[in-house]
Structure 1
Amino acid sequence: MFDPHTSPITIHYRPRNRNTYITITHNGEVCVRSPIKDEKRLRLILRDRESWIRSKLSAIAASPLAHHTLGETIRFRGECIPITQLPHLCETLQRAKNSIDIEKYYTNFYKNEAILTLPSRLAHYERKMGLHPKEIRFKKMRRRWGSCSSEGVVTLNTMMMQLCYEHIDYIIVHELAHLRHMNHSREFHALVRTILHNERELRRELKQVRIG
């Protein structure tokens, strides 16, 4: 159970921030980004947000993605499933000599699934939005689910194959919307909302999901 006075937290000192921001990662880590250096003061802030933090941690614990063991399970399409349900991956993992090999095979699996799955979903939303990238790229990224360059190149993180289809579609629509609005203005979010009416909810949910 989370205790604002004693539970471990990760503190990122951000002197340029005006406010203190608390986030809960996908694996239940409490992270604080703040211009405040004094940990005691930060603990008091956490105490004020204790109810919210506990509710988030409870939701993460109940998530189907919560209990994952490398080499035994895999996060795939919004679920945590045994690798035995994916015979080809299971066979490939038999060649793994260590955890580095296992992670490499997982990465390759996600990339192959992304190349097979995402183009048709992209084409669907391209037609629906009337927006067409000059180029589409698939690659593993550590910090972002996707990006859109000013040249019209959309890049999608192959690790998004861990997510449910609702979240995958949100990322696709989000990046396509950048072809019209290269910012996160009201107009940008309004455009996304014309396609996905629960845009706000999906955006909040994705902020809680750790990449990787």
Structure 2
Amino acid sequence: MVKSFSDLMSGKETFLFSKWPVEVHRRPFRRSVSIYLYPNKPIKVMASKSTSQKMIVDFLMVKKDWIEKTFDKFSEIAEKFPEKKIKAYEDFPFLGKDRKLKVVITLHKKPFVSVTDDHLLLHIPRNEWSANSLIEEHPTALKEIRHFYKREAVNFLNERLTFWSEQMNLRPSQVKYREQRTRWGSCSSKGIINLNWRLIVFPQEIIDYVIVHELAHLQHMDHSNRFWSLVERYIENYKDIMKSLKESQYLVEFLSENQ
């Protein structure tokens, strides 16, 4: 069940547990054992330097059913939201609408991305253009795609935040745009609102809900009935939107630097 091996060149401590590779990351003052699961990656174990491999394996055994279910869920998600390839005619979501990637030539010296009603346009400089540009993948263009989405997100989210701030008469002390894996927004006790710029892939109604949700925290720093009543005053169908966001949250994964 467990086969150990070491990677002397990298210094990693790895072994095989059941059918899954495991990477152990040790910290000198850590008191507990924790595991982290990610799609298409080894099980990551955080443990102290004194924790034996047997203790780690015993811990994994206790969590085996959960590990199995989680990796099964990852497989289901991968099937529903397949990895996107940066090539012509691939669909990319933007403001709730799938737009096909169209590769076009440009006289500019650097590649860039723009958008139309139906297409996401990847502009390839003439000096990089080849006979295969229309059929090959362009994995290095992820940088330009991320830059485009973030730029458009900051502009659009700013507009919607200004609109809802006026409607609700609630204004943050500061707004920051971040890239978080599992959170769409947050509001601090100092009135600072953080918004996940990858929201730009979703329809406006989802974006509006997240903004109203965070603005409502300026008045109620909890999820009390008063808080939800305030949200519902402006977004009557917020429960349906929350469900839609949860079901479509993995649409943003193509924007991750390390897919």
Structure 2 partner of 1:206: 245
1:83 paired with 2:101, answer: yes
> How far apart, CA to CA, are the structure 2 residues paired with 1:185 and 1:105?
42
- Specify whether residues 82 and 98 from structure 1 end up closer, same or farther in structure 2 by C-alpha distance, changes over 3 A only: closer
Please show how residues 65-104 of structure 1 align to structure 2 within 5 Å. Answer: 69-71=84-86, 72-84=90-102, 86=115, 89-91=121-123, 99=139, 101-104=140-143
> How far apart, CA to CA, are the structure 2 residues paired with 1:93 and 1:155?
35
Higher RCO (CA-CA < 8 Å; seq separation 6+): 1
Please show how residues 37-186 of structure 1 align to structure 2 within 5 Å. Answer: 37=63, 39=65, 69-71=84-86, 72-84=90-102, 86=115, 89-91=121-123, 99=139, 101-186=140-225
1:196 paired with 2:222, answer: no
Structure 1 partner of 2:51: none
Q: Give, in angstroms, the shift of residue 103 of structure 1.
A: 2.8
> How far apart, CA to CA, are the structure 2 residues paired with 1:184 and 1:93?
50
> How far apart, CA to CA, are the structure 1 residues paired with 2:124 and 2:205?
29
- Specify whether residues 184 and 38 from structure 1 end up closer, same or farther in structure 2 by C-alpha distance, changes over 3 A only: same
Give a deviation string over 1:91-132, Cα, whole Å, max 9, x none: 159979963x33322221111101221222111110111100
Identify unmatched segments of 5+ residues in structure 1: 1-35, 44-52
Q: Moved runs in structure 1, 4+ residues, more than 3 A?
A: 36-40, 92-98
Identify unmatched segments of 5+ residues in structure 2: 1-61, 103-113, 254-259
Residue type matched to 2:85 in 1? Answer: L
- Specify whether residues 113 and 145 from structure 1 end up closer, same or farther in structure 2 by C-alpha distance, changes over 3 A only: same
Aligned residues: 163
- Specify whether residues 125 and 93 from structure 1 end up closer, same or farther in structure 2 by C-alpha distance, changes over 3 A only: farther
TM-score, normalised to structure 2, is: 0.53
Residue type matched to 1:90 in 2? Answer: L
Indicate the structure (1 or 2) with the bigger Cα radius of gyration. 2
Q: Is the 8 A contact 1:147 1:175 kept in 2?
A: yes
> How far apart, CA to CA, are the structure 1 residues paired with 2:147 and 2:213?
25
Q: Which has the higher strand share?
A: 2
TM-score, normalised to structure 1, is: 0.63
Q: Which has the higher helix share?
A: 1
